[in-house]
Structure 1
Amino acid sequence: MSRGVVAVLLALVLVGGLVVVWRQLGDHIARQGDAAAGVCVEGDTTVSIIADPGLADGLGTIAKQYSSDRPIVRDHCITVAVRAGDPKVTLDGLVGGWDTKSLGAEPSAWVPQSSVWSSELTTARPDAVEGDARSLVTSPVVLATAPDLAKAAAASGLDWGQLPTLQRRDNSLSDLGLPKWGSLRLAMPTGAQSDPTALAAQAVATQVTRSDSLTAEDAALPRVASSIEALTDGAPSSPDGSASGAVKQIAEAADDSAASIHAVPITEQQLYQLTRGDNEEKVSEVLPSGPTPFADFPVVRLAGSGVSAVQTDAVSDFFDYVAKPEHLATLTALGFRGDAPLPEPTPTVTFPVTREPLPVPPAPAVLTINRLVFGRDFGPPASSAEPSSAATSPAAGG
């Protein structure tokens, strides 16, 4: 054989050997990577999430399932810890500086009941928020009323825009065929989990301004202020400052027409939880005509020195996990609306399709309504930064 042929054969053998060695080396590196990932070479990281009290238990159940799989983000094994938090306390801590001694671990994400709160945060501390907030689940705001009032409201086509007049005028429910009931007596709670009060006011403001979507200019109109003043000034007090307390009083009234509270705004999910064990309709769900306000449960991803890049990525990974229908079903089983089956209807809550959801207003409009409902001292002082809408609009339907 010629030297040239021998050289070619030797070269082929050498190349073949290099390929085999390269593949073996690659497999070895891959096995090392898998082994390292399996033991979390960077250690364990806990991701703290604060959620609305009505959502926290269900979200915590999903978090335990997620954490049990030992998810790995950036070579860290992740544990997600969900706890309930009062929204005002959480907001003040995020704006004024988080005190771990009094407030617990600094959160990497916050899921309040609605954009009532996330709008306050994005306005006061835009640098504390990572990206745009998006709804995890939703729940329409309805009126909980006595059954006879619900029938009269349905027959008359009750509209959100009518509420201020029915609240202000004496014997106004005679217009609905209830001459002995007096005025609307709509409670407007401002205590625990009172977002539906502000959300109902947004719906009223949208109707009285005849706007498709409430703007900052609409919210600042004098007729909006006077309409909300009519609702709040004429509102009877809830026993404990909450919608739940008002619902209980409506259900237990000996004489519905003489009751001190005839109606209260509440989320459908809250009403479902309060009445799911009832065998008969003691309280009714009323959905006034016009755009329906929603509690949108925005996922607010937090930023700052107390939130690491690992925790930020883990928050995204966790909520991607929650959004899968098989996991979201844990939340919809509690009466929240989302891409998973709803519970069976009850005598009170039938989960009607809501064909015209009220778009989440821009933050300046939300803040204006908040001040009208809760008072001028509500919320932290705003920064000079330009605020943005706090969450995407909730989806209609059941």
Structure 2
Amino acid sequence: MAHHRSTDRGASMRGRGVSRGLVGALLAVVLVAAVVVVWFQLGDRIDRQGEQAAGNCVEGRSTVPIIADPDVADALNSIATEYTETGPVVRDHCVVVEVRPGDAKVTLDGLSGTWDPVALGARPAAWVPQSSIWAADLMTARPDIVDGNPASLVSSPVVLATAPQLAEAFDGQLDWQQLPTLQQRDASLGAFGLGSWGSIRLAMPVGAQSDATALAAQAVAMQVTRTMGTLTEQDANSPRVASSVEAMSSGAPQSPDGTPVGAAREIAEASDPGESPIHAVAITEQALYQLTREDTTPRLAEVIPGGPTPIADYPIIRLSGEDVAPEQTDAVAEFFEFVSQPEHLAVLTDLGFRGDAPMPPKTATVTFPLTENPMPQPETAATVTINRLVYGPDSGPATVG
């Protein structure tokens, strides 16, 4: 009987054993889970390797050259050094941004024609001239190498630099459209109580960094054509515009060095303001600030004529083409985003430029008043037309050698 019970217990236990199908299913689940874990570990490893490769700049170093107006070049290069110190990696390249000053006319000629790296240095991936008069000329000559629409880096309104006595006589009554008449008519300043001074003797510099001359001509064009919005090509081609620019340019006194700053310095250093060969010159507010920032007694005054105020906008012209690598294009965008941060932009506004950062204190000459009526950007063709009227058929300021 005992043997019989033992046999029955063994049979009963076999009857209650785990199903082979269930064991197989459990093993399959374990196997799938193991594969998933291995897959994710492999993915994480690949990601880490990718990040490590990028951090190690597997594609090597890439220099990003930028040419800028001399007014902003040193400050931009200082910011570029800070940017490079952050160790930027773009498209697996360690990028180094280098900003150098460049004459606008020389840069325009090089970009419009054949760039000579021996004479001009590395072809830039971006260009920041003093104003959009250069962007208009480049976009007319070579629209294929301009990447998108230029955006303003900083700005500076165009004003007239005059002797303080003349500014006091104007007393806010001067308008841009009066300049051609005041230039051509003898003793025209008599209308402001200064008949012995003669005419306004407005210098019209066409040397380096003389964008203010063309921008002032744009403001005059808007006034004489009674343009209410954007200055058009048709407006710029008006005979009244051509005659007005000719009236300002014909017989204009010469700046000693062909620049607005040179003309302003001539006014400031005159022993007798009424006898000075130059009474006024269009200049950027920033340049006037730099020239007079140490003055405790004003030698010059900032006159803002009535009507829309022209603006030097320091456009960021991003360049494209076979000579600009993809990582350079992306690095330009990242760099100028870095520049736009208030703590970096303050390096520029401290020089007297206007931007989204604190301005320097007022001086005896420059008070940084609110620009209540900024002039809209003219049509590209209108800008080019006025450039030709001011600078001649070859356009652009001549290089001062």
TM-score using structure 1 length = 0.92
Deviation at residue 115 of structure 1 after TM alignment = 1.1
Distance 2:36 2:59 in 1: 33
Query: Corresponding residue for 2:265?
Result: 248
Whether 1:131 aligns to 2:148 is yes
112, 120, 126: which one aligns with 1:103: 120
Query: Corresponding residue for 1:236?
Result: 253
Following TM superposition, where does structure 1 have runs of at least 4 consecutive aligned residues deviating by more than 4 angstroms? none
360, 370, 373: which one aligns with 2:377: 360
Q: How many residues align?
A: 379
Tell me the secondary structure at the aligned position of residue 356 of structure 2. Answer: coil
Whether 1:72 aligns to 2:84 is no
Distance 1:59 1:378 in 2: 27
Query: Corresponding residue for 1:194?
Result: 210
Whether 1:87 aligns to 2:87 is no
Query: Corresponding residue for 1:142?
Result: 159
Query: Corresponding residue for 1:395?
Result: none
Q: Look up the equivalent residue of 1:165 and give its one-letter code.
A: T
Distance 2:155 2:182 in 1: 28
Whether 1:3 aligns to 2:20 is yes
Tell me the secondary structure at the aligned position of residue 149 of structure 2. Answer: coil
Query: Corresponding residue for 1:278?
Result: 295
Distance 1:240 1:279 in 2: 26
Q: Look up the equivalent residue of 1:17 and give its one-letter code.
A: A
Whether 1:25 aligns to 2:42 is yes
Deviation at residue 347 of structure 1 after TM alignment = 0.8
Deviation at residue 175 of structure 1 after TM alignment = 1.0
Whether 1:168 aligns to 2:201 is no
Unaligned runs of 5+ in 2: 1-17
Distance 2:42 2:361 in 1: 58
The CA RMSD over aligned residues, in Å, is 1.4
Q: Look up the equivalent residue of 1:279 and give its one-letter code.
A: T
Q: Look up the equivalent residue of 1:209 and give its one-letter code.
A: T
> Could you give the per-residue CA deviations for residues 89-124 of structure 1, whole angstroms, max 9, x where no partner exists?
111111110011111111111111111111111101
Tell me the secondary structure at the aligned position of residue 83 of structure 1. Answer: strand
> Could you give the per-residue CA deviations for residues 325-361 of structure 1, whole angstroms, max 9, x where no partner exists?
1211111111111111111111111111101111111
Deviation at residue 280 of structure 1 after TM alignment = 1.5
Whether 1:259 aligns to 2:276 is yes
Q: Look up the equivalent residue of 1:368 and give its one-letter code.
A: T
Deviation at residue 378 of structure 1 after TM alignment = 2.3
> Could you give the per-residue CA deviations for residues 145-182 of structure 1, whole angstroms, max 9, x where no partner exists?
11111122234x21111111111111111111223221
- The structure that has the greater radius of gyration is 2
Query: Corresponding residue for 1:295?
Result: 312
Distance 2:368 2:88 in 1: 35
Which stretch of the first structure deviates more once superposed, 96-105 or 1-10? 1-10
Query: Corresponding residue for 1:180?
Result: 196
Distance 1:4 1:364 in 2: 82
Deviation at residue 131 of structure 1 after TM alignment = 1.4
Distance 1:254 1:379 in 2: 33
Query: Corresponding residue for 1:218?
Result: 235
Deviation at residue 306 of structure 1 after TM alignment = 1.2
Distance 2:271 2:183 in 1: 22
Tell me the secondary structure at the aligned position of residue 159 of structure 2. Answer: strand
Whether 1:314 aligns to 2:331 is yes
Query: Corresponding residue for 1:57?
Result: 74
Distance 1:270 1:67 in 2: 29
Query: Corresponding residue for 1:153?
Result: 170
> Could you give the per-residue CA deviations for residues 355-374 of structure 1, whole angstroms, max 9, x where no partner exists?
11111111111111111111
TM-score using structure 2 length = 0.92
Tell me the secondary structure at the aligned position of residue 189 of structure 1. Answer: coil
> Could you give the per-residue CA deviations for residues 198-245 of structure 1, whole angstroms, max 9, x where no partner exists?
000000000111102211000001111111111111311111111111
Deviation at residue 379 of structure 1 after TM alignment = 5.2
Distance 2:33 2:169 in 1: 87
- Distance change (3 Å), C-alpha of 1:34 and 1:377: closer
Tell me the secondary structure at the aligned position of residue 311 of structure 1. Answer: helix
Deviation at residue 129 of structure 1 after TM alignment = 1.2
- Distance change (3 Å), C-alpha of 1:379 and 1:141: closer
Q: Look up the equivalent residue of 1:21 and give its one-letter code.
A: V
338, 341, 344: which one aligns with 1:327: 344
Q: Look up the equivalent residue of 1:328 and give its one-letter code.
A: L
Whether 1:269 aligns to 2:286 is yes
